[in-house]
A = this chain, B = another copy of it.
């Protein structure tokens, strides 16, 4: 049974002809079946099956104008943080029978632009973007043209555009205060470059906690910049610190992968965690609790982040822009406290 190579797909007119009705009737069967006599409807439905007709979405949308899809552009689709957020978005959209399409910009402004245009040209109701650039003028333009825009994981600098983010200053503060509470007086912070907003904010939080405890950040805080934010980066950084001979009693890592590298190194060096050195991570990834030394980490409400972002987009373009800031929480585990579970 050879299928016709590239035959034109059946149109509504073909169906109408086959069923002996008008195109309007076919359209009614498709969209308001209750308005058409059962007998007629069945005839049309038979013709649809017969021709294996599939609506042309472009034509439909061109005429009808609206579409119940929203797009999301994240930095990296392989990053658990973003996929967890995406799950939250999906869950919320499902309730309103919206569909979600995800694309990843790979932190490349050009790719972000490309997907943004693609989504806009296809008339999505809105887009959620984790901006790859500091400047969001292009997003404001999209907003002005009538497409909903919500900034993800980034507080909006513009009153006209909604945003959903997590308080990274607070996150840094929580981690540092916990370490201080545990009796440490000097903290090493393995952080990413300050060009990444999250990193700069977390640094600010740490500084704040130290100051609140009456410590001078200049001496009580040692910040080390980790180039690659993964286990290898963490390993290299902690090794350099150990080699320096000035061994700290507490290390705060900008994310859990970096913390993983630190834990691994400490283990091979036979440095006991948390008694000789306490370690705190960030993100509370799924396996943080599963490590042989369960990792204390700053948890971000990823799921709620997504749900809330979807909420804002679905609330329509008429409601005022809203800026939601979630608060992170600290999950204390064995890597930083002997009294933890």
Which residues of A are interface residues toward B (Cβ below 8 A)?
3, 5-7, 9, 52, 54-62, 69, 71, 77-78, 80, 83-84, 86-87, 90, 99-104, 106, 114-115, 117-118, 120-123, 141, 144-146, 231, 257, 260-261, 263-264, 267, 286-287, 290-293, 317-318
A77 vs B79: C-alpha distance when bound (angstroms): 10
When the two chains form their complex, are residues B84 and A78 in contact, meaning their CB atoms are under 8 A apart? yes
Q: Out of B90, B121, B263, which one reaches A57, CB within 8 Å? A: B121
Q: A52-B141, A144-B52, A291-B291 are in contact. Are A123 and B57 (CB under 8 A)?
A: yes
When the two chains form their complex, are residues A264 and B292 in contact, meaning their CB atoms are under 8 A apart? yes
Q: List 25 A-B contacts (CB under 8 A).
A: A3-B144, A6-B146, A52-B141, A52-B144, A54-B145, A55-B121, A56-B123, A57-B118, A58-B58, A58-B59, A58-B61, A58-B62, A60-B121, A77-B87, A78-B80, A78-B87, A90-B104, A90-B106, A100-B103, A101-B103, A102-B102, A260-B287, A261-B290, A264-B292, A292-B293
Which chain B residues lie closer than 8 Å to A52 at the CB level?
A: 141, 144-145
Q: Out of B80, B83, B99, B123, which one reaches A114, CB within 8 Å? A: B99
* Smallest CB gap from A55: residue in B: B121
Copies of this chain, how many? 2
A113 vs B102: C-alpha distance when bound (angstroms): 17
Q: A59-B62, A62-B62, A264-B292 are in contact. Are A118 and B78 (CB under 8 A)?
A: no
A22 vs B317: C-alpha distance when bound (angstroms): 33
Which chain B residues lie closer than 8 Å to A77 at the CB level?
A: 77, 83, 86-87, 90, 102
A65 → chain B closest CB, angstroms:
9
Q: A9-B146, A58-B123, A62-B59 are in contact. Are A290 and B264 (CB under 8 A)?
A: yes
* Smallest CB gap from A302: residue in B: B78
A278 → chain B closest CB, angstroms:
16
When the two chains form their complex, are residues A292 and B317 in contact, meaning their CB atoms are under 8 A apart? no
A232 vs B250: C-alpha distance when bound (angstroms): 30
Which chain B residues lie closer than 8 Å to A267 at the CB level?
A: 292
Q: A58-B59, A77-B86 are in contact. Are A99 and B121 (CB under 8 A)?
A: no
A149 → chain B closest CB, angstroms:
12
A305 → chain B closest CB, angstroms:
14
When the two chains form their complex, are residues A99 and B120 in contact, meaning their CB atoms are under 8 A apart? no
A283 → chain B closest CB, angstroms:
12
